[in-house]
Structure 1
């Protein structure tokens, strides 16, 4: 009778979460940045083939990372929010003073062209998405802190709210009818500085109406 030797058993190692290779991670980032630029210029209906071309990847790579347009739009929304939070954190850490930090944040943020994306994000992003909600709360905390520190230092007028600043950042980066975002690029920082000068203390006038709050933007992400 032939004896069959038992097969050696393998000890299962710890489960490892899949990680993107470095090149795959770079491809994904290029796609999201290209999509942001395309959505700014053409809205939510921007051609996905054109986005892949801008990113320097094939269509298959784009669809492998983002099987639906909705998934890509969500990632763009998350990217923009996180970039603005990072801008605010750098401004708070590196600027010379509280109002300097507020100015630096505002000027860097308008370059993100958030106003051109507002309509798309309102209509195509789930407001209850937990990742986007967390990014929104972080944005509220960091940007609100910039303005409150400027107020506490007596450098910002006391009757403005960070919602007022968000309205301005959105309006200054929203294309005018019949124009493109590029037309605004020449003027946006000039007009933003006019607004910021008006936010300085002491206030030369009493503002009409009520201050905008961050909650006013809750539906606009």
Structure 2
């Protein structure tokens, strides 16, 4: 009976520890996502810990090295952005409105942190990343196809145009730039440029 009682007392404590560990992990990933968006994947781990409000040792307990942290951020951004893309598709019947909702939601989810993939700092060969990326790409392709079919989206826009443009437009400008404006201003200009009729022809790649 004493063993049973002791086990019962330990169980709530173990669950509390697991909840605390999960909360710390989420705080670390959120802080790293913000920093990667601002300065890239070489952001100091000390600053990640400071912004997360925890010690360096806690960061390294969850993520033994920078590569593990980068991987967690990429997974998080892809998962959350994919969820927002799914929600955008499910709301309303105007295809361009769905695309607009997704673009603004992707900015909210700090998709600029994905520049760690664009700048070669990360090898996206992880099976979970590939699955999440495939899901996100499929959802955005569906949005584009619907908007084009409705005659609302210029025909020469593709998936890469959306992802790369949003990722770059949501990254903060260098300190030497004195104009400080919300990224949503530039996202709206970008969205307006996607609409038909197009007043130019996009240059060919290369």
TM-score by length of 1: 0.74
1:192 aligns with 2:187: yes
Partners of 1:195 and 1:122 in 2: how far apart? 22
Q: 1:162 to 1:105 in 2, by over 3 A?
A: same
Provide structure 1 residue ranges, at least 5 long, that are not aligned to the other structure. 1-18, 217-221
Contact 2:116 2:122 in 1 (8 A): no
Contact 2:156 2:202 in 1 (8 A): no
Residue 12 (structure 2) aligns with: none
**Structure 1 runs of 4+ off > 6 angstroms?**
none
Residue 105 (structure 1) aligns with: 102
Contact 1:39 1:45 in 2 (8 A): yes
1:57-100 CA-to-partner distances (Å, cap 9, x unmatched) read: 22222111111111111101111111211111111112452111
Provide structure 2 residue ranges, at least 5 long, that are not aligned to the other structure. 1-14
Q: State the Cα RMSD in Å.
A: 2.7
1:174-199 CA-to-partner distances (Å, cap 9, x unmatched) read: 4445558x966x24212221221222
Larger radius of gyration: 1
Q: Superposition pairs for residues 69-218 of structure 1, below 5 Å?
A: 69-115=66-112, 117-119=114-116, 122-179=119-176, 186-201=181-196, 203-210=197-204
Contact 2:154 2:198 in 1 (8 A): no
Partners of 2:74 and 2:38 in 1: how far apart? 15
Q: 1:115 to 1:28 in 2, by over 3 A?
A: closer
1:25 aligns with 2:19: no
Partners of 2:69 and 2:37 in 1: how far apart? 14
Q: Superposition pairs for residues 15-54 of structure 1, below 5 Å?
A: 21-54=18-51
Contact 1:115 1:173 in 2 (8 A): yes
1:20-79 CA-to-partner distances (Å, cap 9, x unmatched) read: 822211111111101111222333232222212221222222111111111111101111
Contact 1:73 1:125 in 2 (8 A): yes
Contact 1:77 1:121 in 2 (8 A): no
Partners of 1:138 and 1:73 in 2: how far apart? 20
Q: 1:58 to 1:208 in 2, by over 3 A?
A: closer
1:1-34 CA-to-partner distances (Å, cap 9, x unmatched) read: xxxxxxxxxxxxxxxxxx9822211111111101
TM-score by length of 2: 0.79
